[in-house]
Amino acid sequence: MNAYKIEGAVALVTGANRGIGRALSEALLSRGVKKIYAGTRVQGALSALRDARVVPLRLDVTDAQQVRAAGAMATDVTVVFNNAGVTLNAELASASAFDRAREEMEVNYFGALRMLREFSAILARNGGGAWVSVGSAAGLTNVPMFPTYSASKAALHSLTQCARVLLGAQQTSVFGAYPGPVDTDMVRDLALPKAPAREVANAILDGIESGQEDIFPDSFSHGFGRQFESSPKACERQTAAMFAAMAAGSAA
């Protein structure tokens, strides 16, 4: 895996208006990128990113027309951060489980696939560059409290592995980031220690610049990643035990 230098790059970040996406955008600016296409579904949501290098981009990754329009506009991109994601906390037995699971898959997997199809050729024309999938530790071992979200992130992990092989032929470096719980709106009610989004964003960029294929950007995911690499089954059992302990605590 080739390391990728952030300084002077032209980046595109999906879901750039909040959470990890906003933190990534701020970290990229501090590291000297030439330009950031900041993608967001909501117009006017980027008021906090006041920098001449920021180009607002209306981009809903579930909308094929908007993805094509982004590709037509951002022809100079050299690194894409596929960050947009959603979790809807679908319980398997709930009446809304299928609808919520489809929406999670539409954003977390099919959205990434749309972006990859649109921008892989752009990256190739610009010398290869880099593709970064912001996944989740929950995509490596299913977290029972987020069963359908975990499944969608597992699909993204599989797509990232495939992209690493296929895009390697065009000299595009492909990175997967697998954070644990991060202090964002997405997991506000989760009763677990959470890593600050800014620290996670900087750790992701550190991993890219050092050439790490799989980036575990916080203390939880770092330990989890080491265990996953040695024994995926042990990770499954650990996650099941953690879920059982949390369930028992909430019932007490």
122-171 residue pLDDT tens: 999 999 999 999 999 989 988 888 889 999 999 999 999 999 999 999 99
Tell me the one-letter amino acid at 197.
Answer: A
Cα–Cα distance between 155 and 45 in angstroms, integer? 29
**What is the pLDDT at residue 167?**
96
Instruction: Give catalytic residue positions.
Output: 149
pTM: 0.90
**What is the pLDDT at residue 220?**
85
% of the chain with per-residue pLDDT over 70: 89
Residue 62: is it exposed, middle or buried by C-beta count within 10 angstroms (0-12/13-18/19+)? middle
**What is the pLDDT at residue 249?**
61
32-91 residue pLDDT tens: 999 999 999 877 667 667 888 999 999 999 999 999 999 999 999 999 999 999 988 767
Beta bridge pairs of residue 82: 133
Is there a contact between 78 and 10 (Cβ–Cβ < 8 Å)?
Answer: yes
pLDDT at 229 over 60: yes
7-40 residue pLDDT tens: 999 999 999 988 899 999 999 999 999 999 999 9
Is there a contact between 77 and 128 (Cβ–Cβ < 8 Å)?
Answer: no
- Which residue would you say has higher pLDDT here, 220 or 179? 179
pLDDT at 175 over 70: yes
Nearest CA-CA partner of 214 in 201, 202, 226? 226
**What is the pLDDT at residue 28?**
97
Angle subtended at Cα 210 by Cα 110 and Cα 225, rounded to the nearest 5 degrees: 60
Residue 251 banded pLDDT, cuts 50, 70, 90: low
pLDDT at 250 over 90: no
**What is the pLDDT at residue 238?**
76
Q: What is the number of other CB atoms lying within 10 angstroms of the CB of residue 5?
A: 13
Select from 3.40.50.720, 3.40.50.2300, 3.40.50.1370, 3.40.190.10 the CATH code of 10-222: 3.40.50.720
88-103 residue pLDDT tens: 876 777 778 899 999 9
Residue 68 parent element (H or E): helix 64-73
Mapped onto helix, strand or coil, the DSSP state of residue 62 is: coil
- Which residue would you say has higher pLDDT here, 50 or 199? 199
Residue 212 parent element (H or E): none
Tokens of 76: 């100079």
